[in-house]
Chain A
Amino acid sequence: MASSSLAPPPGLRRRRNRARLRTAGFLSPWLIGFSVFFAYPLIATVYFSFMHYNQIEEPDFVGLRNWKYVLTQMPLFGPALWNTLWLVVVMVALRIVFGLGIGLLVTKIKSATGFFRTAFYLPYLAPPVAATVAFVFLLNPGTGPVNGILGALGIPAPAWFNDPGWAKPSLVMLSLWGIGDLMVIFMAALLDVPKEQYEAAELDGAGAWRKFRYVTWPSITPIVMFAVVTGVVQTMQYYTQALVAGKLASGVSVGPGSVVQPGYPEHSTLTVPQLVYSLGFQNFNTGAACVLSLVLFVIAMAVTTLLMRKRAGLLPAEDRSV
C-alpha cells in the first residue's frame, strides 16, 4: 500500500473477511473437536483436582488435599512413577539400538530380502492385546515353549511375567518384537545416506565403525532424535501391554472391568496411566485421578516443548518462518 494512513479499500476488506471465514470453515471440525474434546476436559481435570468427588455425590472443594495425598501419601505413586520412568529410559533406548541394528541389517541383506523385511515387520502389526496374550503364553513358567527350550538346553529359566524382577524386561522384549515401525524409518534414513560419502571414506581407509561414526550417524541423527521423542511420548502412555500382561500372568480368573490390584507381580508392571485408571474408574477417587493426570500432562508437555525446541523434524522447515 502506498500510504498507511489510508484505510484499505472496501473490496479488499471484504475479500479478507471472506478469506478468514473460509479458513474458519475448513478448520471448523478441528476447532470444535479441540475445544470440546481437549480444552474442556483439560480445564475440567484442573477443576476436579481440587475437588472431592466420588461420581455420585456433588463435588466438594478440598483445596490442595488431593495434591498432597497423591504426591506425598499415596503408596502406589512412587512405584508407578518409577516403573514409567524405568520403561521410558530402558525401553526407548533398547528399541532405538535394536531398531537401528535391524534397519542396518535389512539394508545389508542381499538374498530373500522380501521375506526378511516382511518377517521383521509383521510383529509390529499384531494388535497389542493379542501380542501380549501370545507372549504371556510363550513365557509362562509352567508350560511355555520358551522355558521348555531353555530347560532342555540346561539354561536356568526365569519366571518372566511372574517375577517382579523380570516382568519389566519381559515387556521390553515384547516391545522389541514389535520393532517394525522403527525398522522402516531407520531403513529409509539409512538408504538416504549418499553413497559417494561411503566411497570417499573407504578411499581414506575408514573401517566399518569409522564409516558408521562419521558418515552414517551424522546423517541419521534427525531421525534418531525423532524416534527418541516419539518413543518417550508413547512410553509415557504405556498401558495396554503392562495391564494385560499383569492381569493374565496373575492368573486371577475374573473378566475385564473387574477390580484387581494392578501391576502384578508386586506392582512391578504398574504404570502411571494404569494408576489413573485405577483411581478414577475403580476407586472413584476423581480428585486423585485428576491430580495424577495433570502430573502426566506436565511431563508430556515438557517433552513436547523440548521437541519443538530441538526441532526433531516434526515441524517442517517452511513452518519455522511463519
Chain B
Amino acid sequence: MTTTTASDLASTTPRAPGTRARTAAPDRGPAARARRRRLLHWIAVHAVAVAAALFFVLPFVFVLLTSVMSDDQAMSGELWPDEWNWSNYATVFRTPGFLDWWKNSLLYAGLGTLFTVGSAVPVAYALARFRFRGRRTAMILVIATMMLPPQVIVVPMYLVWAQQLHLSGSLWPLIIPMAFGDAYSIFLLRQFLLTIPQEYIEAAKVDGCGELRTLLKVVVPMARPGLAAVALFQFFFCWNDYFGPQIYAAQNPASWTLSYGLESFKTAHSVNWNLTMAATLLVMAPVVIVFFFAQRAFVEGVKLTGVKG
C-alpha cells in the first residue's frame, strides 16, 4: 500500500461485517481481500441458513394461519386469514372425546415414564458397575431388544393381553411392560452411569453403604441429568406412540390417546382443515413446551446415544 487513506485506517478497526461493504471502496491488498472474502462467506452462510429456516419454520406458520381461518376460508387455499378465529381452539376442546384423549395421553406418558425410569435404574447400575459372567451377553441382548421392530412380537403379545388377561381396549398392555425394563432407557442410563467417577462409589462403600444404599444415596442424585434425559425420551415416546394405542385401544374410543385420536379427528372433520390444524397444534404444544423447559437434559440425552463410547 503506497498511501494511507482514511478508509484504510477506518477498516482496521473492528466493525460489524455488514457495514464493511460500503466503506471498502479501494479494495486492494491481501488484508482487504481477506476481509471481503470473510464478508462474502458470512453472507453466503446466513443466506443458506435463512433458506433452511424457512423450510423448517414455514410448515408451522401455515398450520397456525390455517388454524384460525373461518370454515369457508380454510377450504379456499388462501394463505392469510381474513379474520383470526381463535374460537376454533375452543371448538376443538369441545369436540367429544378430546379431553379424554388428553387424559389418556397424560396417563400413558406419565405412568409409563415413571415405571420405565424406576425399573431402568437398578438394571443400568448393575450393567454399568457389577462384574459378573454374562455381562457382555446381557448388554448384547439389551441392544438386540432395542433394535427389534415392535411389529415382530406384537401378534402373540396381543393374543396374551386380549385372550388371557382381557385387557385389550385399555392402555394397560402398554404401561405394564414398562415396569420391566425398557431396553433403550437401560442402555441410555448405563452410558450415563459409566461417566460417574468410581471414587464416589468406593467412598460410599468405605462408609459402610450396601449396594442398594449406594445406588439410592450416591448414584441416583449424581445421575439426575441422565435420569431427566431418560424420562424425557420416554415421555415423548409414549406421547407420540401411535402403533401401541392402535393395537390395544382402537376398539375402545374411551382409551384413545391424542396421537391416536388426532387421525380420527381429521376423518370426522374431513373438510374442516382449520379445526384439524388447531388440533394438530394442540397435540404438538405440550412437547414443545416440555422441550423449552428441559432443553439441557435433552441435548445431554441425544449426545449420550451417539457420541459417548
Contacts and interface: CB of A to CB of B under 8 A. Distances in A.
Given A45-B156, A127-B287, A276-B155, A134 B63 contact: yes
B99 interface: no
Contacts of A29: 119-120, 122-123, 179-181
A116 B48 CA distance: 11
B283 to A, nearest CB: 4
B300 to A, nearest CB: 11
Interface string A277-314: 10011000010011001101100110110011000011
Interface in B31-62: 42, 45-46, 48-49, 52-53, 55-57, 59-60, 62
B49 A38 contact: no
Chain A: interface residue count, which band?
Answer: 35 or more
A188 B268 CA distance: 44
B284 A127 contact: yes
A132 to B, nearest CB: 9
Contacts of B281: 130
A322 B133 CA distance: 9
A38 B250 contact: no
A133 B266 contact: yes
A277 B151 contact: yes
Nearest to A293: B152
Nearest to A46: B156
Interface string B58-91: 0110110010000000111101000000000000
Contact of B276 (A19, A137, A192): A137
Nearest to B292: A118
Given A29-B119, A256-B264, A223 B307 contact: yes
Contacts of A304: 143-144, 147
Interface in A139-159: 142-145, 148-149
Interface stretch (B7-15, B22-30, B134-142, B199-207): B134-142
B250 to A, nearest CB: 4
Contacts of B74: 143
Given A129-B259, A253-B267, A19 B151 contact: no
B262 A19 contact: no
Nearest to B53: A119
Contacts of A281: 158, 247
Interface in B258-309: 258-260, 262-264, 266-268, 270, 273, 276-277, 280-281, 283-284, 287-288, 291, 299, 302-303, 305-309
Contacts of A294: 152
B243 A240 contact: yes
A110 B18 CA distance: 13
B109 to A, nearest CB: 11
Interface string B123-138: 1011100101001101
A26 B267 contact: no
B152 to A, nearest CB: 5
A116 B309 contact: no
Contacts of A28: 122
Contact of A26 (B211, B302, B307): B211
A296 B306 contact: no
B266 A248 contact: yes
A223 B266 contact: no
A69 B17 CA distance: 68
30 contacts: A22-B211, A26-B130, A29-B119, A30-B180, A32-B180, A102-B52, A105-B52, A109-B49, A110-B46, A122-B56, A122-B57, A122-B288, A122-B291, A129-B262, A177-B55, A177-B56, A223-B307, A236-B149, A255-B268, A256-B246, A256-B263, A272-B151, A277-B151, A280-B154, A280-B155, A293-B151, A296-B151, A315-B309, A316-B309, A319-B136
Interface of A: 19-20, 22-23, 25-30, 32-34, 36-38, 40-42, 44-45, 47-48, 55, 102, 105, 108-111, 115-116, 119-120, 122-123, 125-130, 133-135, 137-138, 142-145, 148-149, 177, 181, 184-185, 188-189, 192, 223, 226-227, 233, 236-237, 239-240, 243-244, 247-248, 251-257, 272-273, 276-277, 280-281, 286, 289-290, 293-294, 296-297, 300-301, 303-304, 307-308, 313-319, 322
Q: Which 7 A-B pairs have the closest CB atoms?
A: A33-B180, A44-B156, A30-B181, A257-B250, A316-B309, A41-B153, A26-B126
Interface of B: 42, 45-46, 48-49, 52-53, 55-57, 59-60, 62-63, 66, 74-77, 79, 119-120, 122-123, 125-127, 130, 132, 135-136, 138-145, 147-160, 163, 177, 179-182, 186, 191, 194, 211, 236, 239-240, 242-243, 246-247, 250-251, 258-260, 262-264, 266-268, 270, 273, 276-277, 280-281, 283-284, 287-288, 291, 299, 302-303, 305-309
